[in-house]
């Protein structure tokens, strides 16, 4: 697999999710026809197993495995065994991170931190990139990341503030924007401040999106609309943005050979 073989990129999608059971084959065909490389992320150990099995049977999927903060009470020892046994088939660690909105659901924040740090340690030791969830916890995530040496850090669906974005733009961290960018004024304001060389795009499917997407669950065919919005915000040609996104990922992602 060579990253130059692809024209489009979906940097964060949950293709292992059950919501895609009826459309997964169509999506995989779309990826092939549209020359799209998708970063297939996981939330649990079971998701991670499915992700590895699915991604390693296709040339246009990368396997990201990990424990989502929502499931931070998972058995980390069991995950470690899986991770070690499948390391040659794993391209990154994610979706991992922190989320303060889960505290109201009884998901302890300190336990989230323990799990997040554990996942970062696995990524650091294995020299793998990470895809990070940071809703309502961007500063905490940034503070923790300072202690780790990682080949690539991707903040998925960036929703921090302008000061945090400015700090990120002075680092090598990538920020990702998804379908909500097309209609969200607050996200558009952030994206306009972002630098093309620090920005990537994603769908976060199967999350459903409103407005022009009419509540449909996100899939890779949404990517051109996101790139088009960036083109309008930055006054940069569509194709130039696609080339920049490819370069952004190329600097960090070492695509393994099957």
Within a domain: 248: yes
Inter-residue contact 83 to 90 (CB < 8 Å): yes
CATH number at residue 108: 3.20.20.140
Q: CB under 8 Å, gap of 24 or more: what pairs does 184-188 form?
A: 187/159, 188/229, 188/233
Q: What is the DSSP string of 67-128?
A: --GGGTTS-HHHHHHHHHHTGGG--EEEEEE--GGGGGGT--HHHHHHHHHHHHHHHHHHT-
Q: Measuring CA to CA, which residue among 213, 237, 214 is closest to residue 225?
A: 213
The per-residue pLDDT string of the chain (258 residues; one tens digit each, 9 = 90 and over) reads 688 899 999 999 999 999 999 999 999 999 999 999 999 999 999 999 999 999 887 789 999 999 999 999 999 999 999 999 999 999 999 999 999 999 999 999 999 999 999 999 999 999 999 999 999 999 999 999 999 999 999 999 998 999 999 999 999 999 999 999 999 999 999 999 999 999 999 999 999 999 999 999 999 999 999 999 999 999 999 999 999 999 999 877 765 544
**138 CB contacts (<8 Å, ≥6 apart)?**
155, 158, 159, 160, 161, 164
CB 152 within 8 A of CB 252: yes
Residue 105 and residue 144 in contact, taking contact as beta carbons nearer than 8 Å: no
Number of domains in the chain: 1
Whether 125 is covered by a domain: the verdict is yes
Tokens of 86: 């499948």
Flag whether 257 is in a domain: no
135 lies in a domain?
yes
Reduce the DSSP state of residue 251 to 3 states and report it: helix
> Does residue 216 lie in a domain region?
yes
Tokens representing residue 23 in the block: 């459309």
Q: Torsions phi, psi of 217, nearest 5? A: -75, 145
Indicate the DSSP class of residue 216.
Answer: P
Whose structure tokens read 């549209």? 34
Helix (H, G, I), strand (E, B) or coil at 193: helix
φ, ψ for residue 177 (rounded to 5)?
A: -120, 145
Does 17 fall in a domain?
yes
Position 199 in a domain: yes
- Per the structure, the complete domain to which residue 225 belongs is given by 3-252
pTM of this structure: 0.95
């Amino acid at each position: 697999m060579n990253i130059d073989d692809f024209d489009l990129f979906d940097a964060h999608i949950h293709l292992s999710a059950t919501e895609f059971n009826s459309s997964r084959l169509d999506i995989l065909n779309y990826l092939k026809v549209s020359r799209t490389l998708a970063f297939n992320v996981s939330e649990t150990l079971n998701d991670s197993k499915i992700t590895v099995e699915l991604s390693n049977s296709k040339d246009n999927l990368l396997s990201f495995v990990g424990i989502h903060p929502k499931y931070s009470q998972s058995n980390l020892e069991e995950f470690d065994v899986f991770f070690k046994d499948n390391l040659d088939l794993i391209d990154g660690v994610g979706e991992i991170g922190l989320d303060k909105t889960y505290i109201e659901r009884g998901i302890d924040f300190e336990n989230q931190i323990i799990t997040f740090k554990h996942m970062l340690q696995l990524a650091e030791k294995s020299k793998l990139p990470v895809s990070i969830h940071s809703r309502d916890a961007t500063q905490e995530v940034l503070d923790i990341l300072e202690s780790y040496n990682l080949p690539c850090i991707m903040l998925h669906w960036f929703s921090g503030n302008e000061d945090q974005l400015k700090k990120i733009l002075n680092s090598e961290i990538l920020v990702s924007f998804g379908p909500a960018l097309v209609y969200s004024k607050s996200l558009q304001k952030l994206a306009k401040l972002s630098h093309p060389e620090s920005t990537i795009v994603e769908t976060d499917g199967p999350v459903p999106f409103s407005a022009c997407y009419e509540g449909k669950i996100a899939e890779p065919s949404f990517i051109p609309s996101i790139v088009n919005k960036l083109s309008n915000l930055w006054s940069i040609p569509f194709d130039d943005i696609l080339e920049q996104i490819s370069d952004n990922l190329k600097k960090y992602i070492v695509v393994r050979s099957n």
